Amino acid sequence: MRELLIATGNSGKLTEMLAILSGVPFTVLTLSDVNAGGDVEETGETLEENAILKAKTYGTRTGKLTISEDTGLEVDALGGAPGVRSARYAQGSDDDRNQKLLAELKDVPEERRGAQFRTVAALYDPIADILHTSEGICRGSIIHEGRGEHGFGYSPLFLVSQGKTFAELDAHTRNDLSHRGQAIRKIRDVLLADFT
């Protein structure tokens, strides 16, 4: 059975990706299972550049079929920021980044608080030098204070159509709706169609 490396160091993302990829006919590995040569710095100017950079670098280092992704929160009133810099929007914790976002939106009315999460996933086969990418987008809005215990990152502030934040949804529902769920399911289809 061929090995498949899920190349993320983010435990929340890893949990979601493993759930979406469960049952695929591969031996699924994580970065903790391989000698991947340390972190890959996200130097790309776009989510797509970062996803490809990580998939190709980890795939080349390990010789394994590799999936990586990059995700950004794009807030309408901030011109699409924090976007590709979502994880580096503020120093410190998820809460520090959430507090900065709320401060920047302090005087923004409800009707202008629209936002979307966007994920670009990349699948790289270092043996055949084949690259596939996919994208997922989930629209919502930014509320005024965090709600929910089940998320990470900006998910306690991101309200989706059910009137709940991502952090208030159970994992199955969130994976069905989410940007990352959409992007990784498309990669899953490619894996099953082209690599089995």
User: The domain that contains 17 carries what CATH number?
Assistant: 3.90.950.10
Mean pLDDT, the chain, rounded, equals 96
CA–CA separation, 84 and 155 (whole Å): 16
Q: What share of the chain has pLDDT > 90, as a percent? A: 94
Range of the domain at 57: 3-194
φ and ψ of 7, to 5 deg: -95, 80
DSSP per residue, 40-97: PP---SSHHHHHHHHHHHHHHHHTSEEEEEEEEEEEGGGTT-EETTGGGSSSS-HHHH
pLDDT, tens digit, 9 for 90 and up, residues 151-174: 899 999 999 987 999 999 999 999
Nearest CA to 156 out of 10, 6, 9, 12 is that of 12
pLDDT, tens digit, 9 for 90 and up, residues 83-108: 999 999 999 999 999 999 999 999 99
Helix (H, G, I), strand (E, B) or coil at 60: helix
pLDDT, tens digit, 9 for 90 and up, residues 40-93: 999 999 999 999 999 999 999 999 999 999 999 999 999 999 999 999 999 999
Task: Give the pLDDT of residue 151.
Answer: 83
What is the end-to-end Cα distance of the chain in Å, rounded? 9
pLDDT average, residue stretch 21-41: 94
Q: What share of the chain has pLDDT > 70, as a percent? A: 100
Chain centroid to Cα 20, Å, comes to 13
Number of domains making up the chain: 1
70 is catalytic: yes
Catalytic residue among 70, 96, 107, 170: 70
Q: Are 153 and 94 in contact (CB under 8 A)?
A: yes
Task: Give the pLDDT of residue 96.
Answer: 96
Residue keyed to tokens 């089995």: 196
Task: Give the pLDDT of residue 194.
Answer: 94
Nearest CA to 117 out of 153, 67, 68, 164 is that of 153
* Number of residues in the chain: 196
